[in-house]
Structure 1
């Protein structure tokens, strides 16, 4: 095994020498899997009569709920690709919500967006200072930032918002909207097609309709950040150097990369993206800051990043999945979750068949038994308790991570301490 001997290997945006990140689905296979999932969902909708699981309103809500999770996950991806574990995403989102609402209330919503990003980036800078410069354990630093952000915003909120109309110690006054847009003609046409209830066609119309109906401008920016991140990290010299810091910082340093600089930049950008996710919560999801409104989305964003195998595309799918399950709480929750029990049973049956094909008979039997129990739950009830509906996003998070764990590979030096010159 030979190492590259010239700096050009790091300075050029070629992935020839980059380590493999595990199995990746080709685009045709991925599209086929998505189409199969939609077809199966359509079958469940027709059997159960739960039209709400794929209607335009449901998909629009799912998109809105997926955006802050996706932004937090994107922040985690930037930091961990440079080798810094960022458990502090939750706290950086909290700082984004407060700073965004405070500035938005004072000077307008777009100023709030900018200041909220800066607020999250300050959290990222603090995390970088503690972990990169002082080599503090990344988990300890992240947890400390989460606690610090929560305490700081609780202290600042009464000072900033009390005494103003609609403001209190736990809530800011209402903030002017950033604005929404709907694609004229296309939105109405897709909604009409969705209302017809046709197999698969109406479900696809519902999915696409949610993407073009009542969409915030901030949502458009967040979606654009997914391909932008992929292009920067995988198609530029800057991105290759940054990723080399997360794979082998000693080798990167030997080839002239300033590892400290790239780690600092990555974690500050990570904080800014998490702050933008917080801004979305306090300016778009709700037009005001509210204590506790982040509600663990930073952690779910981290789970979406892991589910996506530290890749932007997989992260986006994971955020969409978690956003969709969270949307079930808001629109026909009990009936929709009950219908999804049947979908879960069918997916487990398909999984058992796949395991048999791969000659993993013990795992196949276990999967089949679990699928039978889920089907029995569906067949023996007409609805599920509200507590189950509320817990669904978190249960899905655990199940998805458990099922995808074997195919994951984090950056090799992720979370490892690094000192300048240690390879000499």
Structure 2
């Protein structure tokens, strides 16, 4: 008697959305990581006494500030999965902010959305022409776009925002309208049960209430759309034929070309999508301020690139990275003293890393993590308020720390950044 093993090809398909929303060990690990993170934050909040760490206002601001970073990271995901390094995300965001300011001045938030995404897509098209068609080094082209975008938006501002328009060389007039927002019925609308529970300051319960209240009250419809783009991107890239062909261009373009995949065309499409998403990130920055201002991006395109790397070129990972950087940005805006509590959080996390490495018998890594945990704990105990300069750069410092901790587990697409010429490989 012989038994026939069931092959993956013969198993009934549950569908992409079912596969995404249900699953086994990996989904359980993610769930436990989320629960563990909430518990750790609650412990740090109770010990430090800094209520802003888990307050609904901080978490609401974190969501708002994470969206532009997440959109830039999603833009980088599409480009780099197709094999094109996009250092120009910052410049494409800059173009998106100017387009949003100009479009919003004329046609309200809908015009800001369309024109900002279009300007970002134009930046992506320029990058695609330089890297895909002319074989320019991807990093050089990206840096050039970052520099060019700054000059272009200043030139356009001086050309368009003349006297009497309400704008000037460094800013646009105010937007004609803002996108609509909503609150989730039963959670953040009606009696403020979550607000009352948050105000109690109870361990864990108040923190969960603050989390739910911050993420469900006054949420913009476009913010919800941006969050939904994360699972949509996963389905497109990992559950469709288009996504499979696009990712093959970033892994082995010569093999993909030999199988009939239009490599050049897909690279163009991916980089244009990348620019449009980065431009949308710039649009959201304009929505936050209600106006375009020069220098509005503040390096968020580069932080988005860091979130992409931290997330290992995966939608879920980059969303977590964007959330982390958005939280650090929101916290430094809400409270200078609460930023000091992050040192205690770092100490707890590094202590956990030290124990984990010790169990794995990696003594050097365990000793280093333990030493840094002790230094962070000493800093928390001895520092009352950080200087303004350090507080302002909290998101950037967080970026460096996270990348240094995550660097050993990264795996970029194999052909990422390589110039491809048909027939040369």
Distance 2:343 2:394 in 1: 11
Q: CA deviation at 1:101?
A: 1.1
Q: Which residue of 2 aligns with 1:258?
A: 262
Work out whether 1:233 is the aligned partner of 2:237. Answer: yes
Q: Which residue of 1 aligns with 2:168?
A: 168
Q: Which residue of 1 aligns with 2:178?
A: 177
Q: Is the 8 A contact 1:164 1:173 kept in 2?
A: no
Q: Which residue of 2 aligns with 1:418?
A: 420
Q: Which residue of 2 aligns with 1:108?
A: 108
Work out whether 1:301 is the aligned partner of 2:304. Answer: yes
**Residue deviations 1:280-315, cap 9 Å, x none?**
111x21111100001100000000000000000000
Q: CA deviation at 1:25?
A: 7.6
Q: Is the 8 A contact 1:86 1:139 kept in 2?
A: yes
Of 174, 190, 193, the match for 2:194:
190
Q: Which residue of 2 aligns with 1:249?
A: 253
Q: Which residue of 1 aligns with 2:79?
A: 79
Distance 1:112 1:375 in 2: 46
Question: Any unmatched runs of 5+ in structure 1?
Answer: 1-8, 14-23
Secondary structure at the counterpart of residue 87 of structure 1: coil
Q: Is the 8 A contact 1:125 1:264 kept in 2?
A: yes
Query: Which shows bigger deviation, 24-33 or 371-380?
Result: 24-33
TM-score normalised to structure 2 length: 0.92
Aligned pairs for 1:364-403 (under 5 A) are: 364-403=366-405
Distance 2:58 2:47 in 1: 19
Q: Which residue of 2 aligns with 1:331?
A: 334
Of 321, 326, 333, the match for 2:324:
321
Of 291, 299, 318, the match for 2:294:
291
Secondary structure at the counterpart of residue 332 of structure 2: coil
Secondary structure at the counterpart of residue 168 of structure 1: coil
Q: Is the 8 A contact 1:91 1:148 kept in 2?
A: yes
Q: 1:185 to 1:192 in 2, by over 3 A?
A: farther
Q: CA deviation at 1:211?
A: 1.4
Distance 1:405 1:268 in 2: 28
Distance 2:137 2:151 in 1: 21
Q: Which residue of 1 aligns with 2:158?
A: 158
Aligned pairs for 1:332-351 (under 5 A) are: 332=335, 334-351=336-353
Q: 1:313 to 1:184 in 2, by over 3 A?
A: same
Distance 1:136 1:205 in 2: 51
**Residue deviations 1:326-358, cap 9 Å, x none?**
1112111x2211112111111111111111001
Query: Which shows bigger deviation, 190-199 or 342-351?
Result: 190-199
Q: Is the 8 A contact 1:69 1:300 kept in 2?
A: yes
Q: CA deviation at 1:245?
A: 0.2
Distance 1:34 1:191 in 2: 22
Secondary structure at the counterpart of residue 123 of structure 2: helix
Of 193, 213, 217, the match for 2:221:
217
Q: Which residue of 1 aligns with 2:16?
A: none
Q: Which residue of 2 aligns with 1:5?
A: none
- Kindly tell me the number of residue pairs found equivalent between the two proteins: 401
**Residue deviations 1:95-130, cap 9 Å, x none?**
101011101101222022011111000000110011
Query: Which shows bigger deviation, 224-233 or 373-382?
Result: 373-382
Distance 2:48 2:108 in 1: 46
Secondary structure at the counterpart of residue 333 of structure 2: coil
Q: CA deviation at 1:215?
A: 1.4
**Residue deviations 1:14-37, cap 9 Å, x none?**
xxxxxxxxxx98111111112112
Query: Which shows bigger deviation, 145-154 or 194-203?
Result: 194-203
**Residue deviations 1:362-417, cap 9 Å, x none?**
11111111111111111123222222211211111001001011111000000011
Query: Which shows bigger deviation, 342-351 or 238-247?
Result: 342-351
Q: CA deviation at 1:165?
A: 4.9
Question: Any unmatched runs of 5+ in structure 2?
Answer: 1-8, 14-23
Q: CA deviation at 1:179?
A: 2.2
Q: CA deviation at 1:52?
A: 0.8
Distance 1:86 1:382 in 2: 40
Q: Is the 8 A contact 2:52 2:331 kept in 1?
A: no
RMSD: 1.7
Distance 2:203 2:253 in 1: 52
Q: Is the 8 A contact 1:127 1:267 kept in 2?
A: yes
